[in-house]
Amino acid sequence: MKFLLPLFLFVSTQAISETYDGAWYFIKGEYTLKSGEIIKADNQTVVAIKTVKGDKFALTNMREGVFNGYLAGEFQTNDETYSEIITAGTSDEHHGKTFTFKGWLETTQVDGVQSVFWHHQGMVNGVLETEVWRKIKP
C-alpha cells in the first residue's frame, strides 16, 4: 500500500518550528521512483486527511473512492525537519519505520481567504515524495 503526496512552491514560508497541530487535507503530490519515473496525484483521485496533535499524528486516505488505509504514530519536529514514527496502521510495509521529511508551512490568500499550506519532501521506501496539504479551518 502506498500513500502518495505532492509539490507546490510558494514565495513566503514559515519556519518548521511553527505548529503543525490541526487537521489537513491532501492537495497534490509528486512521487519520483527509483527508476526516475514521476507519478503525480491530486485531490481529484486521492482523498487524504492527516491530523496532528502534539507528538501524535494519524493519516487516512482513499484512492478513487476506495479506502486505501491509515497510518498513525508519533510526530517529532526539529528546526528543519519532522519525523513520523509509524506505530499503527493497515500497511505492514510502513509499520515500525520512521520517515523524516523536510517540511515547511506557508500562509497565503486563496480566493480572498487566508489559507495555510504544509509542504513536505522526503524519502518513503525508496520513493521521493513531494506533497502539499492544506489546513482545514475549524
User: Tens digit of pLDDT for each residue in 57-104?
Assistant: 999 999 999 999 999 999 999 878 999 999 999 988 999 999 999 999
Pairing status of strand 38-42 against strand 98-110: unpaired
Name the nearest CA neighbour of 48 among 128, 126, 118. Answer: 118
Distance (Å, whole) CA 138 – CA 88: 26
Whether 16 shows a pLDDT value over 70: the answer reads no
Confidence of residue 135 (pLDDT cuts 50, 70, 90): very high
Q: For the chain, which residues make up each domain, given as ranges? A: 22-135
> The whole model's pTM is what?
0.83
> Domain 22-135, what architecture?
Beta Barrel (2.40)
| Alpha-carbon gap, residue 138 to 124, rounded angstroms | 30
Mean pLDDT rounded to a whole number for the chain: 87
Residue 129: the pLDDT is 97
State the pLDDT at residue 30: 97
